Amino acid sequence: MSQRVAVVGATGAVGRLVLRLLEEREFPLSRLKPLASARSAGKTIEFRGESIAVEELRPEAFDDVDLVIASTPDDVAASFIPQAVERGAVVVDESGAWRMDPNVPLVVPEVNPEAAGRHQGILASPNCSTTQMVVAMKPLHDAATIRRVVVSTYQATSGAGVSGQRDLVEGSRAALQGETYDYQAFSHPIAFNLIPQIGSQREQGYTSEELKMVHETHKIFGDDSIRVCPTCVRVPVTNCHSESILVETERKLTADEARRLFEAAPGIQVIDDLPAGAYPLPLECSDRDEVFIGRIREDLSSDRGIAFWCVSDNLRKGAATNAVQIAELLVGATRAVNQ
């Protein structure tokens, strides 16, 4: 059943990727309506060989829309999404505005696809760092029940938007030339540096980004007893978030068993040959939809621990791809009902 689809934030980095994925994955739509802020209205985007004018984001824009895929700041999402739902649209939202709302499913299709069927007009896509981690956790949790996770993230500057990318390029150029640079996205230089803070300060010394990983993981798995200790770090990498993950399970897993579980899991690709120097690298995982896993090994400090390295494109699987996959789940559910 073809959908009348609106993409909100169509001119942004993630919005442009959503449009590209809808085309590449041949999503069944009968009409596309790109929406953006007033300053972007009137621009055109290319989709399936046609030039389509971008319309201004306003309540009336949703009057003839079945499905919305939205990538906007939280405050914008909090404002317009109820208006879209009131007009009969189902919304897949990539912001943080609705993720922890108890009436809104938080969905990663490889992990909890059944949650999509419980929506009341809004579905949320998790934070990018959470998404790749829970995809990696899923096969281990199903096989041996994860009780604890210790994760350190190495997050690319693309996660901070266009200004983050500009800060990396221009800041690096300035540093190499011995010049100063006025950083826009980051409170400290990112060139040749690491910043161990992403998001605002929250309770017990954790940041908002770190607590997202805790609370979103609990909601996705439906299990608040999983203990999660995250440390989120911005690194001078253009694209792809990397994570060093240690999980402790109720039943002991060997490294070989964990590797087999990863290899059989949907959405995961294993690259794990340490003697050959083969493991996931951000440069090689960029513009890919999979979650890449390597350096799989048993924890030397725990009898039931598995450690591994995880890399994923934060703009694709961490954002645009996951949202489009949720939309595909919805279309599949609609087809099943109508058959």
Could you tell me whether strands 227-234 and 241-249 are parallel, antiparallel, or unpaired per DSSP bridges? Answer: unpaired
Gap between the Cα atoms of 215 and 217, Å rounded: 5
Would the pLDDT of 7 be above 90? yes
- What amino acid occupies position 35? L
Q: Both 240 and 177 in a single domain?
A: yes
Q: Both 183 and 268 in a single domain?
A: yes
Catalytic machinery residues: 128, 241
* DSSP calls for 271-306: --BGGGTB---HHHHTT--SEEEEEEEE-TT-TTEE
Query: Contact, 110 vs 130, CB < 8 A?
Result: no
According to the model, what pLDDT value does residue 283 have?
Answer: 98
Which residue from 336, 335, 314 is spatially nearest to 126, judged by alpha carbons? 314
Q: Both 181 and 293 in a single domain?
A: yes
Query: Contact, 216 vs 126, CB < 8 A?
Result: yes
When pLDDT is cut at 50, 70 and 90, the band that residue 1 belongs to is low
Query: Contact, 77 vs 98, CB < 8 A?
Result: yes
According to the model, what pLDDT value does residue 333 have?
Answer: 61
Could you tell me whether strands 3-8 and 146-155 are parallel, antiparallel, or unpaired per DSSP bridges? Answer: unpaired
Q: Both 328 and 238 in a single domain?
A: no
When pLDDT is cut at 50, 70 and 90, the band that residue 338 belongs to is very low
Gap between the Cα atoms of 199 and 153, Å rounded: 13
Which CA distances in Å does 151 have to 24, 95, 172, 246, 279?
33, 22, 28, 6, 18
Which residue from 156, 94, 138 is spatially nearest to 312, judged by alpha carbons? 156
Would the pLDDT of 310 be above 50? yes
According to the model, what pLDDT value does residue 2 have?
Answer: 82
Query: Contact, 188 vs 195, CB < 8 A?
Result: yes
Using only C-alpha atoms, the chain has a radius of gyration, in whole angstroms, of 20
Contacts with 82 (C-beta within 8 Å, 6 or more apart), sequence order: none
| Whole-number percent of the chain with pLDDT over 70 | 98
When pLDDT is cut at 50, 70 and 90, the band that residue 337 belongs to is very low
According to the model, what pLDDT value does residue 98 have?
Answer: 97
Q: Both 142 and 263 in a single domain?
A: yes
pLDDT digits (tens, 9 = 90+) for 39-90: 999 999 999 999 999 999 999 999 999 999 999 999 999 999 999 999 999 9
Gap between the Cα atoms of 64 and 231, Å rounded: 44
| Domain count of the fold of the chain | 2
pLDDT digits (tens, 9 = 90+) for 152-172: 999 999 999 999 999 999 999
Query: Contact, 201 vs 121, CB < 8 A?
Result: no
Q: What's the token pair of residue 24?
A: 């590449």
pLDDT digits (tens, 9 = 90+) for 316-327: 999 999 999 999
Would the pLDDT of 339 be above 80? no
Q: How far is residue 159 CA from its own chain's centroid?
A: 10
Mean pLDDT of the chain: 96
Q: Both 203 and 147 in a single domain?
A: yes
Instruction: Determine the structural domain holding residue 222 and report its residue range.
Output: 130-314
Residue 293 has phi, psi (to 5 degrees) of: -130, 135
Q: Both 69 and 165 in a single domain?
A: no
pLDDT digits (tens, 9 = 90+) for 18-46: 999 999 999 999 999 999 999 999 999 99
Q: Both 201 and 112 in a single domain?
A: no
The arithmetic mean of pLDDT across residues 3-18, rounded, is: 96
- What amino acid occupies position 141? H
Query: Structure pTM?
Result: 0.95
Q: What's the token pair of residue 153?
A: 């993230």
Gap between the Cα atoms of 245 and 230, Å rounded: 9
What CATH number corresponds to the domain at position 34?
3.40.50.720
- What amino acid occupies position 168? L
Would the pLDDT of 236 be above 80? yes
According to the model, what pLDDT value does residue 335 have?
Answer: 52
Would the pLDDT of 336 be above 90? no
Would the pLDDT of 334 be above 70? no
pLDDT digits (tens, 9 = 90+) for 184-205: 999 999 999 999 999 999 999 9
pLDDT digits (tens, 9 = 90+) for 96-120: 999 999 999 999 999 999 999 999 9
Q: Both 169 and 305 in a single domain?
A: yes
As a whole number of angstroms, the longest Cα–Cα distance in the chain is 66
Q: Both 114 and 143 in a single domain?
A: no
Q: Both 252 and 222 in a single domain?
A: yes
pLDDT digits (tens, 9 = 90+) for 256-300: 999 999 999 999 999 999 999 999 999 999 999 999 999 999 999
HEC states along 187-224? CCCCCCCCECCCCCECHHHCEHHHHHHHHHHHHHHCCC
Q: Both 145 and 265 in a single domain?
A: yes
What CATH number corresponds to the domain at position 165?
3.30.360.10
